[in-house]
Structure 1
Amino acid sequence: MLKDFKPVLNILLRFIVIYLVLLFAYQFYLNGSKAGGLDPFSRLIADQVAAIQKGIGYPTLLYDDVKNEQVWFYVKKVYVARMVEGCNAVSIMILFIAFVFAFYKGAKTFAFALAGLVLLYIINLLRIIGLNIVMIDYMDYGKMFHDFIFPAVIYGTVVVLWLVWIKFFALKNENS
């Protein structure tokens, strides 16, 4: 009977191992950058968000709060939001990668994973920009967008990518 579940158990085991390895590696990275405030990857995202916002007419400055490991967005002379480690979408990217590699299909796995990571990175930048714009221009909707709309967008993107991976790559018969 257990033989029938072997493929499913192998996929589940691969997912868990990959997820835990990436999660521990990321935690090791975070522990190594604690003294400098916000981690370098999150800071890079904050810098890119500020640059894009300036380019679209939302003058933005960043203020470091090293002690609290965060960066504040100062948009149009108002503090609108803060960037913390959780805003960088790395945890979502780790989940995405673990799922895709659980259904490993050779070189196309790496290509799809890379394309998916780039898409998630761009979606996350747009999410943070959108949140800053909502917080400066439509403050009354800020909590709704932060708590519901934007998480639905980024998690929805992950689900769509997973469905594409499964339907068109992972379960596709190699002989057809």
Structure 2
Amino acid sequence: MESLFTVYRPFLSFLLRFIVSYTLLTLIYQGYLQQYDASKKEVDRITYHVAEQSKWILQFFDETAHTAPNNKEAGVKLFYHNTWIARIIEGCNAVSVMILFTAFVLAFRGTWQRTLWFVPLGIGLIHLANILRIALLAIALYHYPAYEHALHGVLFPMVIYGFVFLLWMVWVNRFSNYAAPSTK
């Protein structure tokens, strides 16, 4: 039994670090969300800003693009060409994706110096990719409403998770303690 633990120790150590960091970050985020009352249609500030930033991107293509409060749920309505095209809710802000990204980087250890710049950079890039994703999704839904399920449920999640996967590969292969040393 001890030899099994020795053999699988790196994996078990990774798994423990991932579970602990993911749980801790999720609890912090849930604590943040608790200050907003969804039953009163209160939108958290992160989701609100994601909706506004997505609107700014859309305004490059349609100056009438705008947002409005959603009176039916805690969310923001996103309009493109004066058509209500999307609802931006808490799940659209990509924070859960950022938490997953961060937990993986923390679990697949690197030096603290590298971790301290890679995590914020990755979170910033994920945020940027997310607002671009929402804006592009809004444009696609406006032009191809019949493909809503394929666009919203398949293609665009694949884009954001594929981007996070690429960031993880960069981390593992270039900056983590497991990266092959570069030859000069």
Q: State the TM-score bracket (shorter-chain normalisation).
A: over 0.9
Q: 1:124 aligns with which of 114, 121, 130?
A: 130
Give ranges in structure 2 of 5+ residues lacking alignment: none
SS at match of 1:105: coil
Counting only pairs closer than 5 Å after superposition, residues 1-150 of structure 1 correspond to structure 2 as 1=3, 2-34=5-37, 35=40, 37-57=42-62, 59-65=64-70, 68-106=73-111, 107-150=113-156
- Alignment check: 8 A CA contact 1:100 1:162 kept: yes
- Alignment check: 8 A CA contact 1:37 1:65 kept: no
- Alignment check: 8 A CA contact 2:173 2:180 kept: no
Paired with 2:12 and 2:44, the residues of 1 have a C-alpha distance of 36
User: Cα 1:173–1:59, aligned 2, differ >3 Å: closer, same or farther?
Assistant: same
Question: Is residue 172 of structure 1 aligned with residue 175 of structure 2?
Answer: no
Paired with 1:59 and 1:52, the residues of 2 have a C-alpha distance of 12
User: Cα 1:7–1:43, aligned 2, differ >3 Å: closer, same or farther?
Assistant: same
Q: Normalized against structure 2, the TM-score is what?
A: 0.88
Paired with 1:173 and 1:135, the residues of 2 have a C-alpha distance of 43
Which stretch has the larger CA shift, 90-99 or 159-168?
159-168
Q: 1:152 aligns with which of 151, 154, 158?
A: 158
Paired with 1:117 and 1:64, the residues of 2 have a C-alpha distance of 26
User: Cα 1:36–1:81, aligned 2, differ >3 Å: closer, same or farther?
Assistant: closer
Amino acid paired to 2:150: M
Q: Share of identical aligned residues, percent?
A: 36
TM-superposed CA distance for 1:143, in Å, is 2.1
Paired with 2:182 and 2:159, the residues of 1 have a C-alpha distance of 35
- Alignment check: 8 A CA contact 1:131 1:142 kept: no
Q: Normalized against structure 1, the TM-score is what?
A: 0.92
- Alignment check: 8 A CA contact 2:174 2:180 kept: no
